[in-house]
């Protein structure tokens, strides 16, 4: 009998497959386990040869690692996806409206729906952005929305990544690898295609060209360079979009415009998809010691002569404290009820909340407000007494730095581990593009915690990924 | 094309070419060490000359006390402090390739990436004497695979031409350095000596540029004549590692860039000048004005071309 402490996406409580998984279940049944093992290794070889790697900070031995790829796909039905995508669409519209409002009239604060100090005292709030309106009033163009499922119809948004969400190249390479290895599965399933993501990204970036651009815009992906953990993705996206991959030193500002240094005359750049943080964009405006950015870039941006995606200062909408207000924010800007749930959140800076969190540390997940990548977080139920005690001390020292949420019973999907197929917990990061319209790729990146019982799916913490299918009706 | 992209393509090809040259030099050193001992400390001198030909004798002396096979092999294959060790060459080539992945074809990238992955799995202490030749063969093969992948898949645009610049400037540098290290053996007055020592020295030179067979096809000498060897490696177009062959390719790629960009750059004039000197050259003249001086001058011009390319095409 199946474990019922979590939602199993493939099997119902009595062990029969759900409709979307019916065929896959049969296919897995008949597939010899030894072949699965061989194919799993084959997939790894493909990834390594292609150089689809990421870097882990703080380890010397091997700077480039593979994210483990699980060959069992995750499947979402058309109906499930319709609901998810409607919820995501609503959310990204609200987020962009929020950012615009924060850097302009701050109606939401005036209306008393969001505390002022949460905004103005926030490290992610950029005073330099106040009053600036980018093309089409879009600030967060590329968003990764982290979603978990806890039951048949219950989805929660964990986080809205509005800075520089990564992972989309894995989504695409995973699909590529699956189609290469298991073509028969794609004949027997109507899987919504995702290959057009780079074109959609390009269309999105073209649609937000700055007012000063009068021809077809020149687009460039700005990377910190080959030692960045997501460098593979930067190169991949530039390549598949057919645009230049630039580093800060390839760019310069002259006479109010941004240019690339080429083998010939300088070439003007109109839209930058940047994969470096705000603080490093322009040493004249932000961190003076930054060598990754371009001196004078921000002035060109404010003058409407270049579009930076995502806009500087969008991190304000990616903040875990602001996150807790998302239901109000959605209602305020869209006039609609939120379609996707927010996870109840305790802000530890609040005295009563802190007391509650300290009391219930063994059942909560505690995260840093500005943290990312699963670093510096505590999963209460999985932590030892000692770890909890140590964390409690950090919490008491800087309560404002933390929020806490209940430990959600993440759904699980069949996963190939060792020599068998077993359920492992997953989350989902759909990729959303906002420009002249909202474009959502069906599915997204499923991250899976490969360790039995583990709820931490981050690749930096030993998580893997899966191809994610949305079935068409 | 970004200036940085041009630069990375240039250096990427240069370092792949260099990894192959290093393997070839080591291969020759190894062969000589198999010959019966010659004179006092003959072998040690030969390993020394391998280092000199590779241009890394200075660095070696800073690291090691003794010139012997193990040390030389280690230094030239694996030492991270030696920027021309095969390991460093492959590492630098791959880093450059990563930084311009969008300009490479998948075949080029994968051949280089696989080389790097497999090379980094080799443990230096596993490379015992009997395993050395097959490792050196493998290094050469990987470089040839990369070249083949490039020639077979790359668009014939500026991407191609900047890669060619790197490969052929490096190759010309390597050939001229090998010649210069042994130039005293190639002077006409040596012709009459023809003892066992010289014989193997000449074949060393030919082998280090993979040309001992080719030589016979061109000259049909019963024994290599030193000044034929010099002519072969400097002036014979048929010989793919000769200086003039390298500059024929460089001139062609220069023309290619000129056509694409619709303008002539100062580096083009430098390349053209060197090319013309080689085309007009004959061995009597070169020997008359001094082979060593000729080679020194060539190396200077060759280096000047790199600097000029970097300036003209914003390599920075």
Q: Do A263 and B316 touch (CB under 8 A)?
A: no
Output A70 or B44, whichever has higher pLDDT.
A70
Residues A119-152 pLDDT 10s:
988 889 999 999 999 999 999 999 999 999 999 9
Lowest mean pLDDT segment, chosen from A189-203, A277-291, B187-201: B187-201
Q: Do B3 and A226 touch (CB under 8 A)?
A: no
What residue in B sits closest to A223 (Cα-Cα)?
B99
**What pLDDT score was predicted for residue B315?**
93
Instruction: Using the predicted structure, report yes or no on whether residue A90 has a pLDDT greater than 90.
Output: yes
**Number of domains chain B contains:** 2
Q: Do A235 and B102 touch (CB under 8 A)?
A: yes
Packing angle, helices B69-77 and B86-99, rounded to 10: 0
Residues B9 and B128 grouped into a single domain: yes
Q: Which residues of B touch A260 (CB under 8 A)?
A: 2
**What pLDDT score was predicted for residue B38?**
55
The token duo for A277 is: 């943080």
* Distance in angstroms (rounded) separating the CA atoms of residues A24 and A184: 11
User: Are A339 and A333 within 8 A, CB to CB?
Assistant: no
**What pLDDT score was predicted for residue A59?**
47
* Distance in angstroms (rounded) separating the CA atoms of residues A421 and A29: 10
Q: Which residues of A touch B101 (CB under 8 A)?
A: 51, 235, 239, 245
* Distance in angstroms (rounded) separating the CA atoms of residues B17 and B146: 10
Q: Do A226 and B95 touch (CB under 8 A)?
A: yes
Q: Are strands A267-268 and A257-260 parallel, antiparallel or unpaired?
A: antiparallel
Residues B195 and B261 grouped into a single domain: yes
Domain finish residue from B139, B154, B169: B154
Q: What angle do CA A45, A242, A48 make, to 5 degrees?
A: 10
* Distance in angstroms (rounded) separating the CA atoms of residues B170 and B8: 14
Residues B256 and B269 grouped into a single domain: yes
Q: Are strands A257-260 and A341-342 parallel, antiparallel or unpaired?
A: unpaired
What residue in B sits closest to A243 (Cα-Cα)?
B102
Reduce the secondary structure of chain A to three states and give it as a string.
CCCCCCCECCECCCCCECHHHHHHHHHHHHCCHHHHHHHHHHHHHHHHHHCCCEECCCCCCCCEECCCEEEEEEEECHHHHHHHHHHHHHHHHHHHHHHHHHCCCCHHHHCCCCCHHHHHCCCCCCHHHCCCCCHHHCCCCEEEEEEEEEECCEEEEEEEECCCCCCHHHHHHHHHHHHHHCHHHHHHCCECCCCCHHHHHHHHHHHCCCCCCCCCCCEEEECCCCCCCCHHHHHHHHHHHCCEEECHHHEEEECCEEEECECCCCEECCEEEECCCHHHCCCCCCCCCCCCCCCCHHHHHHCCCCEEECCCCHHHHHCHHHHCCHHHHHHHHHCCCCCCEECCCEECCCHHHHHHHHHCCCCEEEEECCCCCCCCCEEHHHCCHHHHHHHHHHHHHCHHHEEEEECCCCCEEEEEECCEEEEEEEEEECEEEECCCEEECCCCEEEEECCCCCCCCCHHHCEEEEEEEEECC
Residues A299-321 pLDDT 10s:
999 999 999 999 999 999 988 88
User: Which residues of A lie inside 8 Å of B (Cβ-Cβ)?
Assistant: 48-51, 225-226, 231, 235, 238-239, 244-247, 249-250, 260-264
Distance from CA of A246 to the nearest CA of B (A): 8
Q: Which of B164, B119, B161 is nearest to B142 (CA)?
A: B119
Residues A148-158 pLDDT 10s:
999 999 999 99
**What pLDDT score was predicted for residue B206?**
85
Q: Do B261 and A231 touch (CB under 8 A)?
A: no
**What pLDDT score was predicted for residue B299?**
94
- Please name each of the domains of chain A with its CATH number: 19-210+306-338+409-470 (no CATH), 211-305 (3.40.50.11290), 344-406 (3.30.1490.270)
Residues B102 and B220 grouped into a single domain: no
**What pLDDT score was predicted for residue A160?**
93
Residues B201 and B284 grouped into a single domain: yes
User: Are A208 and A138 within 8 A, CB to CB?
Assistant: yes
Residues A397-404: what's their mean pLDDT?
A: 89
Residues B177 and B298 grouped into a single domain: yes
Output A46 or A467, whichever has higher pLDDT.
A467
Q: Do A51 and B113 touch (CB under 8 A)?
A: yes
The token duo for B170 is: 């490096």
> From the list A51, A238, A262, which residue is nearest B1 (CB)?
A262
Q: Do B3 and A239 touch (CB under 8 A)?
A: no
Give the CA distances from residue B116 to residues A6, B81, B91, in Å, rounded to whole numbers and listed in that order.
44, 17, 7
Q: What is the dihedral of CA A72, A78, A79, A81, to 10 degrees?
A: 70
* Distance in angstroms (rounded) separating the CA atoms of residues A131 and A119: 15
> From the list B6, B95, B99, which residue is nearest A263 (CB)?
B6
Domain finish residue from B138, B154, B170: B154
Residues B209 and B107 grouped into a single domain: no
Q: For every one of its 316 residues, what pLDDT tens digit does chain B have, with 9 covering 90 and above?
A: 999 999 999 999 999 999 999 999 998 888 878 776 654 445 667 888 889 889 899 999 999 999 998 999 999 999 999 999 999 999 999 999 999 988 899 899 999 999 999 999 999 988 988 899 999 999 999 999 999 999 999 999 999 999 999 999 999 999 998 888 877 666 665 554 445 556 677 777 888 888 888 888 888 877 777 788 889 999 999 999 999 999 999 999 999 999 999 999 999 999 999 999 999 998 888 988 888 899 999 999 999 999 999 999 999 7
Q: Which residues of A touch B110 (CB under 8 A)?
A: 49-51
Q: Do A262 and B110 touch (CB under 8 A)?
A: no
- Residue A61's pLDDT band, with cuts at 50, 70 and 90, is very low
Q: Do A51 and B314 touch (CB under 8 A)?
A: no
Q: Do A263 and B109 touch (CB under 8 A)?
A: no
Distance from CA of A268 to the nearest CA of B (A): 12
The token duo for A301 is: 């941006």
- B3 interface with A at CB cutoff 8 Å: yes
Residues B147 and B249 grouped into a single domain: no
> From the list A231, A239, A264, which residue is nearest B261 (CB)?
A264
> From the list A49, A260, A263, which residue is nearest B113 (CB)?
A49
Residues B268 and B166 grouped into a single domain: yes
Domain finish residue from B114, B136, B154: B154
Instruction: Using the predicted structure, report yes or no on whether residue A251 has a pLDDT greater than 50.
Output: yes
Residues B169 and B90 grouped into a single domain: no
* Distance in angstroms (rounded) separating the CA atoms of residues A49 and B106: 10
Q: Do A245 and B117 touch (CB under 8 A)?
A: no
Output A203 or B41, whichever has higher pLDDT.
A203
Q: Do A246 and B2 touch (CB under 8 A)?
A: yes
Q: What values do phi and psi take at A99, rounded to 5?
A: -65, -45
Looking up tokens 């770890």 gives: A387
What residue in A sits closest to B7 (Cα-Cα)?
A263
Q: Do A260 and B2 touch (CB under 8 A)?
A: yes
**What pLDDT score was predicted for residue A43?**
86
Q: Which residues of B touch A245 (CB under 8 A)?
A: 100-102
Residues B69 and B201 grouped into a single domain: no
Give the CA distances from residue A243 to residues A144, A221, A238, A359, in Å, rounded to whole numbers and listed in that order.
22, 7, 5, 53
Distance from CA of A53 to the nearest CA of B (A): 11
- H/E run at residue B162: helix B158-181
Residues B19 and B160 grouped into a single domain: no
* Distance in angstroms (rounded) separating the CA atoms of residues A311 and A309: 5
- Residue A371's pLDDT band, with cuts at 50, 70 and 90, is low
Lowest mean pLDDT segment, chosen from A119-128, A245-254, A431-440: A119-128
Q: Which residues of A touch B261 (CB under 8 A)?
A: 263-264
Distance from CA of A303 to the nearest CA of B (A): 25
Q: Do A250 and B95 touch (CB under 8 A)?
A: no
Q: What angle do CA A406, A145, A112 make, to 5 degrees?
A: 70
Q: Which residues of B touch A263 (CB under 8 A)?
A: 1-3, 5-6, 158, 162, 261, 313-314
User: What b-and-e string marks burial along B17-45, b requiring 16 or more CB atoms within 10 Å of the CB?
Assistant: bbbbbbbbbbbbbbbbbeeeeeeeeebee
- Residue A106's pLDDT band, with cuts at 50, 70 and 90, is very high
The token duo for B39 is: 């004179």
Interface A:B, Cβ pairs < 8 A: 58
Residues A441-464 pLDDT 10s:
999 999 999 998 888 888 777 789
What residue in A sits closest to B112 (Cα-Cα)?
A49
Q: Which of A349, A301, A302 is nearest to A122 (CA)?
A: A349
Q: Which domain holds residue B227?
A: 156-316
With H, G, I as helix, E, B as strand and everything else as coil, classify residue B2. strand
Q: Do A49 and B98 touch (CB under 8 A)?
A: no
Q: Do B98 and A231 touch (CB under 8 A)?
A: yes
A329-337 contacts, C-beta under 8 A, 24 or more apart: A329/A94, A329/A95, A329/A98, A329/A108, A329/A113, A329/A114, A330/A90, A330/A91, A330/A94, A332/A94, A332/A108, A332/A111, A332/A113, A333/A93, A333/A94, A333/A97, A333/A98, A333/A101, A333/A108, A334/A90, A334/A93, A334/A94, A334/A97, A336/A90
**What pLDDT score was predicted for residue A282?**
95
Residues A16-50 pLDDT 10s:
999 999 999 999 988 888 888 888 888 888 888 77
């Amino acid at each position: 009998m199946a474990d019922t402490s979590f939602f199993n996406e493939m099997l119902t409580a009595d062990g029969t497959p759900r409709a979307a998984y019916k065929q896959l279940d049969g296919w897995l049944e008949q597939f010899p386990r030894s072949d699965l093992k061989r194919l799993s290794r084959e997939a790894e070889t493909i990834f390594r040869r292609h150089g689809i790697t990421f870097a882990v900070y703080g380890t010397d031995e091997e700077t480039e690692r593979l994210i483990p790829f699980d060959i069992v796909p995750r499947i979402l039905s058309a109906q499930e996806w319709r609901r998810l995508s409607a919820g995501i669409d609503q959310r990204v519209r609200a987020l962009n409206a929020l950012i615009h409002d924060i850097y302009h009239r701050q109606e939401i604060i005036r209306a008393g729906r969001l505390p002022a100090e949460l905004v103005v005292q926030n490290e992610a709030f950029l005073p330099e952005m106040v009053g600036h309106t980018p093309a089409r009033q879009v600030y967060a163009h590329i968003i990764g929305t982290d979603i978990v499922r806890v039951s048949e119809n219950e989805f929660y948004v964990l986080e809205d990544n509005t800075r520089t969400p990564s992972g989309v190249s894995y989504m695409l390479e995973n699909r590529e690898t699956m189609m290469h290895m298991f073509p028969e599965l794609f004949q027997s399933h109507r899987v919504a295609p995702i290959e057009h993501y780079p074109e959609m990204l390009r269309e999105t970036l073209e649609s937000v060209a700055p007012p000063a651009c009068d021809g077809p815009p020149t687009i460039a992906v700005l990377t910190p360079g080959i030692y960045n953990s997501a460098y593979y993705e930067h190169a991949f996206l530039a390549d598949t979009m057919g645009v230049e991959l630039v580093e800060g030193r390839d760019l310069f500002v002259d006479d109010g415009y941004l240019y690339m240094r080429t083998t010939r005359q300088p070439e003007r750049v109109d839209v930058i998809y940047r994969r470096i943080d705000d603080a490093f964009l322009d040493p004249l405006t932000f961190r003076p010691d930054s060598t990754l950015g371009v001196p004078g870039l921000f002035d060109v941006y404010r003058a409407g002569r270049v579009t930076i995606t995502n806009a500087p200062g969008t991190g304000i909408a990616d903040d875990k404290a602001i996150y807790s207000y998302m239901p109000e924010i959605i209602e305020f800007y869209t006039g609609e009820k939120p379609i996707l749930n927010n996870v109840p959140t305790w802000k530890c800076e609040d005295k009563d909340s802190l007391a509650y969190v300290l009391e219930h540390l063994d059942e909560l997940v505690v995260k840093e407000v500005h943290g990312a990548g699963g670093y510096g977080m505590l999963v209460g139920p999985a932590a030892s007494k000692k770890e909890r005690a140590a964390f409690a001390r950090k919490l008491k020292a800087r309560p404002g730095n933390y929020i806490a949420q209940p430990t959600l019973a993440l759904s699980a999907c069949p996963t190939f581990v060792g020599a068998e197929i077993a359920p492992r917990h997953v989350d989902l990061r759909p990729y959303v593009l906002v420009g002249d319209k909202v474009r959502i790729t069906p599915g997204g990146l499923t991250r899976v915690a490969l360790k039995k019982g583990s709820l931490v799916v981050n690749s930096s913490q030993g998580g893997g990924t899966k191809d994610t299918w949305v079935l068409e009706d | 094309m970004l200036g940085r992209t041009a630069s990375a393509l240039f250096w990427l090809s240069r370092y792949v070419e260099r990894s192959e040259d290093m393997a070839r030099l080591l291969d020759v050193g190894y062969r000589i060490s198999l010959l019966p001992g010659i004179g006092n400390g003959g072998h040690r001198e030969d390993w020394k000359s391998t280092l000199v030909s590779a241009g890394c004798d200075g660095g070696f002396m800073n690291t090691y006390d003794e010139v012997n096979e193990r040390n030389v092999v280690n230094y030239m294959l694996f030492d991270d402090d030696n920027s021309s060790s095969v390991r460093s060459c492959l590492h630098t080539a791959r880093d450059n390739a990563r930084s311009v992945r969008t300009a490479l074809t998948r075949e080029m990238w994968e051949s280089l990436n696989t080389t790097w992955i497999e090379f980094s799995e080799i443990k230096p202490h596993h490379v015992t004497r009997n395993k050395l030749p097959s490792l050196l063969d493998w290094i050469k093969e990987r470089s040839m695979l990369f070249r083949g992948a490039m020639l077979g898949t790359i668009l014939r645009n500026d991407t191609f031409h900047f890669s060619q610049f790197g490969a052929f400037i490096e190759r010309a540098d390597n050939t001229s350095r090998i010649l210069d290290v042994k130039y005293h053996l190639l002077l006409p007055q040596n012709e009459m000596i023809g003892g066992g020592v010289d014989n193997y020295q000449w074949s060393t030179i030919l082998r280090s540029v993979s040309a001992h067979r080719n030589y016979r096809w061109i000259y049909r000498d019963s024994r290599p004549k030193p000044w034929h060897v010099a002519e072969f490696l400097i002036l014979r177009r048929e010989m793919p590692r000769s200086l003039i062959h390298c500059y024929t390719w460089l001139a062609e790629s220069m023309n290619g860039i000129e056509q694409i960009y619709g303008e002539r750059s100062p580096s083009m004039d430098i390349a053209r000048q060197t090319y013309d000197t080689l085309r007009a050259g004959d061995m009597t003249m070169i020997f008359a004005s001094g082979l060593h001086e000729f080679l020194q001058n060539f190396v200077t011009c060759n280096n000047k071309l790199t600097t000029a390319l970097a300036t003209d095409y914003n390599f920075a």
